[in-house]
Each structure stands twice: as structure tokens, then as C-alpha cells.
Structure 1
């Protein structure tokens, strides 16, 4: 019996959804930082097994959104409720049910989709804290399964895959064996650059930045990929911070991004970065579409 299906990974920001996707795939596909709202797009990751194809969809964190960009991110996440065969609600294994999980659970009930509760970060708590927390969540919704994991260490991921197989529908292999994601190489390169901006800058800068890859050219003879990308910001002052004194910040962003790209693409990378001001792009529907944040 061969099974296949789409599995949405949902939850509020910073609970470890992208870390879970990377742990399942055994590859760093989704960028990860300690800052909320790191994930802006749906990112598909494909895990193949002899008897199944698991198609995971990582989503932006569900939060109270005020700007057009944030509302698009939340809509991207909530659309997964009806597009998935199974939903994984990722929560932090802590002392009590987080209040921001409650509206997400209500939406789960309305969707009627099979849902698992994934209690992440169990490496950070005492094991005796788990049972009361699981009981509390069990009283809120009839989850098909409640599975404690550590996305960071990998604990619980084999069990999660075993349980998912039981609930997946019979179906075909949708994607080839060697395909890990439906995202383009340009998108993945842009995300790596954006991750470095998130890690190296502070305050509003990470949330006011959008990266567009202008050129991605492979030179097989020289085992080299040439990438040219533009970092778009909303204000001149932000441009100055991204560039840094004598270009030091831009150089650091480029160096760290290039190192990660060379690991991911398994080839040498020549990376060229530019910075451009696009005033209030996070509030402009036309520019949001231009930067890949579509309705």
C-alpha cells in the first residue's frame, strides 16, 4: 500500500515549525532565526519513503496582523487548514496552554481536518510537565494524536512519521524521488540572504527588508553559480544600516550568505548584493506582488 498527502505545519510564531520541517527532511530548507515572523511564504518539503510520500508545508506564524504584509502571511497560513490532508499544530511544551493557541484550535475545529498536536521543545522541560499539558490540550480539541518532540534534537520525529503514515490517504507519488521542494533556486537563495539580515540587524530592519534575486547563472565549467540580488528596504536610514560603515554590514551579510549557499548548492558561489529603497513597500499591494507576496 502506497500513501501520499499534504501535511500542513501550523502554529503561532517561534514555536519551531521551520526547525521541524528541516529536521524531518534532514536538510536546512527553511530559514531559522530567533525572531518571530521569520517565515513569510509557504515552503513545501518532500520526504520520501518506500511506502509513502509525505509532502509537508511550512507556514508563517499565525498572529494578530496589522500591516498588509502580515495579513498576507496569516492568510497564507490559514489557507493550509483546508488544503491539507493532515494538520500539525506545533506548540511549545511549557507550563500551560498558551492563550494565542486558543483561536488557532477553534479554527482547527471549524476546518474538520485531521489534526495532530505536536508539543515541541521537550528538551527544555522536565518530562513530568508533559502529561498535565497534554491533558489540557486534549480537553480543548479531539486531536488524532498528541506527540511530544524536540525538532532541534530529532527526538520524536521517527514516531511522528510512523503515526502520520497511519492517517495518510492512499495515493500516488506526486513528485520525483530526487525532488525536495517546489521552490525555485532563486527563492532559496533569496531566503538565505534574508536569514542573514534577520540575524545581523535589529529593530524594524529585518521586517522592512525584502530580497529579490536579479540573476542566477550557473557556470558548470567553472563549478560556479553567479548570483546578483537586491535588498529592498523602506527608508534611506534603513539602507544606511544595511550597508553599514564603509560597507561592513553588507559585506558580512554577503559573506555569511555565500557560505551557506555553497553548502546548500554544493558548488562555489559568487554573490553580489545591492541595496535599494522602495518606500513603504510592506503596505503597497503592487510591490508586495512584485516581491513574491501574492494574494
Structure 2
């Protein structure tokens, strides 16, 4: 890794020739420039598709056997990891410990700047030890510029413990080299505002994390077709979503769907299985457990028995 005081060579720190007159643009020109540059975030993710697919495959396999998924980062990168982890319980009804975000500076860094804490690699190592990372776990280190010591310390410690390690950075591998299982580079180029990696780099990172977490949950059977059948029914919006899923997939009226949802213990996946197979709650629950909570597999099993 390059000396931390010599970051000017990094792609994320370079000056964007398209925005040299940023302070002279009209508001419309400003928006048009941003929109044009943001297209590069999508293109960067597309070029990393093979590495993203491998990450999904590896992570799903580890989680299927009892592992956990951790995002590690500082600043914007850390906040994006925490955000993605926080969305998993309501979307996929996962326990909070299954997908976790680790940010330099802890929870306080979510709402206030703690950039000085990212320079402590030993804090990254300590975070891994504190969470008792094992060979079953997956640790994804996120750092736009690729050099954050907190992230490198965490990945090094995780690798020593046998965990699967993934690196996400927005600089080419010849600028920052690292020894990990999957190396994801999202090359978005220089930012509109030089060095402000919360912009394109942050956008590309968010897109990548969307893909990874959703892909892993699909592989774990948390999705049927394109419906979130493990949605946690914890508020009115999510109850409405659950009822729409049931009504759309079964043809039931909203009232009948509501009764079915209550009979299932507010579990959409179980409600669908009960409706399609005629099983009662206890039998359906047992069948899902036998098939690692995979609805499609459970349905196929009942067809074979029939």
C-alpha cells in the first residue's frame, strides 16, 4: 500500500477535466454535468459483474452454513455498509446479526465526521476480534480510495481467522494492491468535486451493495419470483406490501389475504405455502424448515409426494 501521505496518484483524488469550471456553471449546466458523470457509476458496476457474481456465490454459501456477512468501512463507505445491513431485517426478515455494518468510530460516526479514526488499522483488527469472526463469516472491506488503514486492518485480521474476504475500492489494482478472495474495483474516475468520493464512488458502491445483499438473499431463498416473501410485517406499509404480495400471487381478496396472513403468524412465505398446499401452519412450518426456508423447494417437495 502506498504511503498514506502520498495519495495524489490515486484515481479518486485526481482532478476531473470536465468540471474545471464547476463554480461558473448555471444550475442547469451543473445538474447536466452531474447527471452525465453519474452514468459512469453504472458502467463501473457493469465492468465488475464477474467479481460481484462471485461475491454473491461465496457469501451465500457461507451464510447457508451458519456464517455472517460484515461490511467494514469509514466515512461514507462505512455509512453505506451500515445502511445496507440495516435494510436486511425489514426486507428479508433476517436476524440483525446476520448482516452487520462496522464503521470506524462506531455509531457516532454515522451522524458526524470521524475521519481521524479511519487511520487506525488496529481499530479494524479489534473490531474483527470483538465480533469473533470465524472461517464461516464473510468480511467485505469498503474504501473508495483503497488505502483506509481501518479497512486494511480489519481485512487482514479477518483473513488470519479464515474468513472469506472481499475488497471494494474505486481505484485500479495497480494503485492499491491487496490479498483478498475477491477484489472488486469500481472505476468511476475523478469526481466532479475533486476528491469527494461520496459522489460517483459512493453511488457505485451503493449499487454494488444493493446487488450483493439482494443476490445473497435470493440465493438463500428469501425471494419467490421477484417478491420479498420474507418481508417483516412490522408496520402498516409492510403489512400492505405483504397483503399485495398474497393477493397478487394467490388471487385472494384483500380480506381473505389478511385472514391467511394472520393464520400464518404474519409470515408471507408460510401463508403462500399453506394456500398452495392446503397444509396447516405447523405442517407448513416444518416443511419449510426441512428445505432451509426455500419456498420453491418446499412446494416442489409436496408435488413429488402427491
Work out whether the TM-score is over 0.5. no
Q: TM-score, normalized by length of structure 2?
A: 0.32
| Higher fraction of strand | 1
Larger Rg, first or second structure (1 or 2): 2
Q: TM-score, normalized by length of structure 1?
A: 0.33
| Higher fraction of helix | 2
Larger RCO: 1 or 2 (CA < 8 Å, sep 6+): 2
